[in-house]
Each structure stands twice: as structure tokens, then as C-alpha cells.
Amino acid sequence: MTHFDLPPLLRAAGTVRLPGSKSISNRMLLLAALAEGVTEIRDLLDSDDTRVMLSALAALGIGLEAQGANCWKVRGAGGVFPVKQGELFMGNAGTAIRPLTAALALSGGHYRLSGVARMHERPIGDLVDGLRQIGCDVRYTGNAGFPPLEIFPAQVNLSAPIRVRGDVSSQFLTALLMALPLTGEKAIIELTTELISKPYIEITLNLMARFGVRVEREGWQRFAIPGGQRYKSPGVLHVEGDASAASYFLAAGAIGGGPVRVEGVGKNSIQGDVKFADALETMGARIVWGDNFIEASAPAGRLKAFDLDLNHIPDAAMTLAVAALFADGKCVLRNIGSWRVKETDRIAAMATELRKLGATVEEGSDWLAVLPTPTLQANAEIDTYDDHRMAMCFSLAAFGGVPVRINDPGCVAKTFPHYFDVFAQIAAPVIAIDGPSASGKGTVAQRVAKALGFHFLDSGALYRLTALAAMKAGVSLDDENRVAAIAAKLPAAFQGDRIFLSEEDVTEAIRSEEVGKGASKIAAFPAVRAALLDRQRAFRRFPGLVADGRDMGSVVFPDAPVKVFLTASAPARAERRYKQLIGKGMPDNMRPLLQDIVKDLEERDARDAARPVAPLKRLPDADLVDTTNLNIDEAVAAVMDSVRHRLPFLNPPVI
Ligand code: DC
């Protein structure tokens, strides 16, 4: 088992593009498979659970064509599955095994379905009971009430309503609703107990409607599917961003200052979990809703305690349990009994892990109460129980200013394979060091990164690489669009302290005067700067980043908790450059050159400071380090002082 160490976190801000919703992805895949015609599904989630569904559909004879990792063309069967025999492995994907069981029970074939050990502990009895009422032949091959299952062809009779429980998992109802139109006959489902997680049924009905099948709903007790309906492909569909995944980032904004914006869901979302934002608002967070985004920021003071019925948002509610660590009193999460039968017993798991952080936790059969502690326990080792949501929501604990270890972080692949990289984009600490050329910031930044064990970005190298690549390609450095196109696809790689362009080592080549001049020129083009923006931001990973350049604090990482403006007088910088040139083999009898170098530096400073986009300037929130009279060690120590002052939790080593 591996682990992931999160450093103490202070602030969160920025924008996150969400991966596709798991619930919508797997429903769309199944409906497209059963529909007449070809459906193109865009922005599909690429994760363990969707791969389980895709490989099952392929095994069942559905034509699938990948148009990239997130876009699939599905050639529907126009009814039941054409393959009449199969062994299907369902992993731990509840959103795959439940609806597939129902659809296969009506497909007139012989199938076996199994999963990982935990899947064999997750109940499916209520769904099987419902299917048996209409004559389906579904048998347990392990423990009664649980997968694995064996399905045989059977004669179906829909004359009487199907009666199912609604209080264990809403996925049983979803499974029946999606499968029954395959019969072409009128079908009625009646719930014998109160339905939980109602918003998930709304997603199901909404998607069925998009595939042309109408369901008549009477309250939440009775659902009628009129006969004679068939699924028809709507053509092209887009998967919304995952609203449950949005909860981690929105909570990060509410706890860590913000604003944090999630893109891909908004006020018109069909996912119930967007209501998580309302729960955060109850805690005092400031929420802004857009058509395709939600944004959260922290309140002026501490987040407020809450006592809420969270039946409608069972998944996102886990995030609230961890956000409770930052509230001003005891928080109570009610009506969350379904947690007991999810990827793990989430009530027990949550209580155990929150206690490791020092919280006082009480639990009941379907509730949890969290009394936060003023100071979180440092270095807690959080177990994740093969439950992606445990790993993701406990990453928020690091905002308590303590290091947190997440065990088995790979479990996030179930729904969000790159979660920690995306989380780093809004939360990993950045030390932004900006300043004029030859101020020594490159060397200083590298030394600071090494001392802290942080990643390092030499942003100037990207501009130099772009200039060099353009020169090699014979592209004029005046041609903004063509240079920007080169920047967007720059085949650059940083390996240790070597820099490569395609396969060629260009570490020295990019430091030439000619390339430096070219870099300065193309750096003034807005299109070039825009093309390099995401590439620079991708360097932001845990445990943190030291970034050096001209606009690190102003444009690329405006939320950096540490900003340093590192400079020196022009004569001092000229002297350093002169020594550099001697180091490169220039004879030491060219002192008169110094005047030219000073002039050259002053001109370049003026150009960098005067350009309309991302000009070099000292920001009001940047600490000034003037290295005119400092050697490298002293300059590094001055930056580390700044880090110690701004990021006290980091405990940076004294140099
Ligand atoms: O830091 P350097 O000398 O390697 O930078 C090369 C050129 O790129 C320099 O003229 C300024 C420009 N640059 C920039 O505009 N923005 C950055 N973040 C980094 C460098």
C-alpha cells in the first residue's frame, strides 16, 4: 500500500474543470447501448467505474468506438443485448452492476455477474426480489441477497405492479426504470418504503426522457412506464461535470479562503449533489452560481456548525463531515443510513478517521455528529477503505495547517484518477519569485526549491524554448500567431537540470544572447503568453512549487501565498552578467563592456516593465529582496525568511 503526504495547507483559490459525472456517464452508456441508433457521448468520465461499464457493454455485443479517452460512439442494440451468454466482472461499480442486472434479466440470455469482495457484501436483494416478481430468473451463487449473480432466460409478466423497497439504495429503482422499457409493455413500480436519494431518480428520469422514454410519476411512491416505448438515440450528448467531485473543491474554497470555481456544473445541473453548495452556504460560505460554474469562498469568520438532513446528497455529505472539522461547533449529519452499504461502511470509516484528527465523533445507525477540535492532530494517517470518497474528502483536513497522510491514494481512480493533481492546482503552496534578468532569482529559486523539497519552474526557459523552436522552424519572431502555435505544442521536457526540445538537449543553447533577445521579443505577445499559461500551471504539484519569472505572482499564480520581488541595482546585475560571460570563456579584459551591459539591462527592464501584457512590476503583496549587496547564500536566506513568515506551518529549514 502506498501513501500520499499532503503538506499543511493554508489557502485555496483558482478554477477547476471537473471530470464527467459518474452517475450520468454510466446511465448514458447503458441507455445508448439499448437505444436505436448511434449515440456520441462527449465528456464521458474516464475512470474505473466507467471502464467496467464499457467492457461489459463490449462483451454484450454493443459496438463502441473511442474518439479519445472522453468521447465514445455507441452503436445501440435497439433493444435487448444481442449476446446471449456472458461472464461479466463488475469491480466495485454499483452504477454498473445494478442497472445491468435488470437489463440482462430481460435480455433472454444466460449471464454471470461478479465483482470485488466488497461488491459481494453490497446488497442487491431488493432489486432481485423486484425482478423475480415479474418472472425474471435471477439466482444468487454466493450469499442470498448479494452478488455474485446468475441470470437465466425467463418469461416476463407485467400484469401486476412491481413492489420494491426504496430505503436501501435508489439504484434499485433506477435499474428497474431503465430496464423495463425493453419489454415494450406497460409497467408499474410501487415503492413499499420511503425512497432515499431522490435526486438520483430525477437524473434517471431526465436521461430516459432524452432517449425518448416517458415515465409517469405519482409523488415518489408510484412510477408508470407507458407501453410501446423504445429508446431512441438523441445523437450527441454531453456529460455534465461530476457534482459530487465538485464538493471537494467547493469545500476547499469555503475553508481555504477561495474563491474556488468549479466548471462543468451550474444552476441548471440535473445532479442532486449541486445542493451541496446550499449546505456550504448554511455553514456561512459565500456561493456564486453561474450557468456552467459554481464558486465558493470562505466567510469572514469561522464556518458555522450545522444540523442537517442530508438524505438528498449522500455522497457529497461525506465532504461536509470533513468540513465539520472547521466549524465553530458540533455538526450533525442526519438521515445518511445509505452510507452503511456503500464502497465501505462510510459512517464507521468516517468516525474512525475523523477521530484520528482529534475530533470527537458520535455515530448512530443513520447519523454522525462531529465536534471539531481547535487544533487538528498533525501527521494523522488516514485509511481510505478502498473508497475514493474517503481519500478525496480527507485531503481537506490539511487546511487545518497540519501534514496529513492519505493511505492507498490510488483508490481515487474509481471516479477521479487525477484528483490529487487537480487538487494541487488550487491548494499546493506556490512561492512566486519575480524580478528582472540577472537578479540571481534563477539560482535563488532553485536553491529554495531544493531546501523545501518543492518542484521548480523556470518560466523564462519556456519563453526561451519557444524562441529557439521558432528559430529552428524558420518562423519569424514577429509572427505572433505562428509563434503562439509553436508555444502551444512545445515538445519540451525538463529532466533534472537538463532541458530538452524534442530529443535534443538544449540546456546551454537556450542561454545564448540571441535566444535571450528572441525570448524577450516573443514574451511580449499576448497569444504566446496565453499558450504557455496552462503549461506553467501544470508545474503546481504537491508538496509545492517555487516558480521564477516575471509574472508568476501577478498572472500565473495570483493566489501564491508567498510572493517575492527579487532585484538588484542595474550595475550590480551587469557585474554578475559580466562574470557569467567570463565564466563562459570571455577574456577578462573587456571591462569597458560593462557600460553596454548596464545599458542593455536597463533597456530590457524598461521593455519588460512597459509592455501592456504581464509587465514586470513589484506587487503590493510581494516581499522585496534586494540582492545588490547580498551573496547567493544571503539571498536564499532572505527568501526563506519570507517563506517562514508567510507559511509558518511549513517549518522550513534554517539555511
Ligand atoms: O528569466 P529569463 O531571462 O530566462 O527570461 C527570458 C525572457 O522571457 C525574458 O526576456 C523575459 C521573458 N519572461 C517573461 O516574460 N515572463 C516570465 N514569466 C519569464 C520570462
Residue 243 confidence class, pLDDT cut points 50, 70, 90: very high
What is the CA(606)–ligand 1 centre distance, in A? Answer: 13
Name the nearest CA neighbour of 314 among 343, 337, 345, 282. 337
CA dist., res. 312 & res. 273, Å (int): 8
What is the pLDDT, as a whole number, of residue 68? 84
Q: How far apart are the first and last CA of the chain?
A: 35
**Please, what is the average pLDDT of the chain?**
95
At residue 11, φ and ψ (nearest 5 deg) are: -135, 155
Distances (CA, A) of 179 to 119, 175, 293, 479, 597: 21, 6, 33, 58, 77
Mean pLDDT of 369-376: 96
Q: Where are the alpha helices (DSSP H) in 407-562?
A: 419-427, 441-452, 459-472, 480-488, 513-522, 526-537
CA dist., res. 397 & res. 535, Å (int): 28
What is the CA(208)–ligand 1 centre distance, in A? Answer: 54
Beta-sheet strand order (sheet of 492-495): 492-495, 498-501, 504-505
Name the nearest CA neighbour of 549 among 523, 575, 530. 523
CA dist., res. 525 & res. 519, Å (int): 10
Strand 430-434 and strand 562-567: pairing? parallel
Mean pLDDT of 424-439: 94
Strand 187-191 and strand 149-152: pairing? unpaired
* Model pLDDT for residues 141-154, shown as the tens digit of each residue: 999 999 999 999 99
Among protein residues, the one with the nearest Cα to ligand 1's atom 11 is 520
Residue 27 confidence class, pLDDT cut points 50, 70, 90: very high
What is the pLDDT, as a whole number, of residue 652? 66
Among protein residues, the one with the nearest Cα to ligand 1's atom 5 is 460
Q: Cβ-count burial of 20 within 10 angstroms (0-12 exposed, 13-18 middle, 19+ buried)?
A: buried
| 506 CB near ligand 1 (under 6 Å) | no
* Model pLDDT for residues 253-302, shown as the tens digit of each residue: 999 999 999 999 999 999 999 999 999 999 999 999 999 999 999 999 99
| 551 CB near ligand 1 (under 6 Å) | yes
Mean pLDDT of 104-127: 97
Name the nearest CA neighbour of 87 among 59, 107, 65. 59
Report the alpha-carbon angle 581-586-588, nearest 5.
95
Cell numbers for 177? 426504470
What is the pLDDT, as a whole number, of residue 43? 95
What is the CA(420)–ligand 1 centre distance, in A? Answer: 29
* Model pLDDT for residues 452-467, shown as the tens digit of each residue: 999 999 999 999 999 9
Instruction: Kindly give the interhelix angle for 419-427 and 243-255, rounded to the nearest 10 degrees.
Output: 30
| 550 CB near ligand 1 (under 6 Å) | yes
What is the pLDDT, as a whole number, of residue 612? 85
Q: Cβ-count burial of 342 within 10 angstroms (0-12 exposed, 13-18 middle, 19+ buried)?
A: buried
Which atom from ligand 1 is nearest to the alpha carbon of 437? 3
Among protein residues, the one with the nearest Cα to ligand 1's atom 6 is 460
From 434, 439, 463, give the residue whose CB has the most ligand 1 atoms within 8 Å, as the site to mutate. Answer: 463
pTM of the model: 0.88
What is the CA(523)–ligand 1 centre distance, in A? Answer: 7
Active site (catalytic) residues: 315
DSSP state of 118: G
* Model pLDDT for residues 291-326, shown as the tens digit of each residue: 999 999 999 999 999 999 999 999 999 999 999 999
- Please state whether 446 falls in left (phi above 0), alpha (psi between -120 and 50) or beta: alpha
| More confident position, 418 or 68 | 418
Among protein residues, the one with the nearest Cα to ligand 1's atom 15 is 523
| 554 CB near ligand 1 (under 6 Å) | no
At residue 613, φ and ψ (nearest 5 deg) are: -100, 135
Among protein residues, the one with the nearest Cα to ligand 1's atom 10 is 520
At 457 the three-state DSSP class reads strand
What is the pLDDT, as a whole number, of residue 88? 98
Which atom from ligand 1 is nearest to the alpha carbon of 464? 6
| 459 CB near ligand 1 (under 6 Å) | yes
Cell numbers for 90? 463488475
If one counts every other C-beta atom within 10 angstroms of the C-beta of residue 611, the result is 17
| More confident position, 1 or 34 | 34
| 577 CB near ligand 1 (under 6 Å) | no
If one counts every other C-beta atom within 10 angstroms of the C-beta of residue 534, the result is 11
